[in-house]
Structure 1
Amino acid sequence: MIVNGHIGRFTDEKAKVYRFSEVDFMSLPQASIATSTPWTARSKFEGPLLFDVLKHVGAMGSRLDLMALDDYSVSIPVSDLKAFGPILAHTRDGKRMTSRDFGPLFVMYPRDQFPVKLNTLPALSKFIWQVRRITVVE
């Protein structure tokens, strides 16, 4: 996965991007969310908080533009990170996700904890899977 935009740390200074290696990504503190989605039964999702991913790259912005492998994109306000604590899940029910089953990375919100706020079409559009890039916008 690549993070670019308004960030302060780079693995490629010339391209102004941070490319997460598996080791980098898995060394971040891990969290879990047990929830259901319109696409999955209630499951336990694991991965770092999106906040910690951004902290690792020195992100400074108010919005995240995420892009999936199939070019689906969505914007997430940084305020969601504090309000809901979404994670960038790599594991579902103890199994690493692949591109065939919502992976390798899936933005997961605690939908069951906030059903009124997170069970709307605008909120559900933020549950982006197959994440390949995050752009931090001012």
Structure 2
Amino acid sequence: MTLAGVGTLARLAHAKEERRAILIVRGNISKFTDEKAKIYRFSEEEFMSLPQNSITTSTTWTTRSRFDGPLLSSVLEHVGASGSRLDVQALDDYSASIPMSDLDAFGPILAHSRDGKRMTARDHGPLFVMYPRDKYPSKLNTPPAQAKFIWQVRRITVVH
């Protein structure tokens, strides 16, 4: 096999790992599943093993529902993250920033289920940043706050 062929195989293997990961975290983190790329790829099993929480709320896009998933702060703690904000990217390349201060102020989760049913890309999944909007309507039912309800989450970049 030529050197170019080895490089192609490595890129294909990397692409396969990216597709299998439910979430990829990068940026200012201290734990990695890929030391060379400086990223942490969560398998579905590992993600689901994190402590789970629920938020019952409505959103602009959903009726009042129970959303289940780990606290966003737990996901970040798992990878040794520190910084001032998160840049969250969705499957369709939509992205928005979340200040770290939101994690203490509102306790958002990275929801994988709605009313006990796993979400898919067709219904806001596989992961949806969920805030308790109904608990803090004056703060979370505004256009800037609604921009942080990111669905089809794929990547999180932790920024200093």
Which category of TM-score, normalised to the shorter sequence, fits these structures? over 0.9
Q: Please tell me the residue identity of whatever aligns with 2:157.
A: T
Counterpart CA distance in 1 for 2:45 and 2:31 is 16
Bigger relative CO (Cα 8 Å, ≥ 6 apart): 1
Please report the TM-score for the alignment, with normalisation by the length of structure 2: 0.86
Please report the TM-score for the alignment, with normalisation by the length of structure 1: 1.00
Aligned to 1:107: 129
2:32 corresponds, among 10, 32, 36, to 10
Write out aligned runs for 1:38-49 (5 A). Answer: 38-49=60-71
Runs of 4 or more consecutive aligned structure 1 residues displaced over 3 Å after TM superposition: none
Which structure has greater helix proportion?
2
2:144 corresponds, among 94, 97, 122, to 122
Counterpart CA distance in 1 for 2:129 and 2:26 is 17
- Which structure 1 segments of 5+ residues have no match? none
Q: Count the aligned residue pairs.
A: 138
1:80 corresponds, among 102, 114, 139, to 102
CA drift at 1:60: 1.0
Counterpart CA distance in 2 for 1:112 and 1:49 is 17
Tell me the alpha carbon deviations over residues 13-62 of structure 1, each in whole angstroms, 9 at most, x when there is no partner.
00000000011101100000000001000000000000000000000101
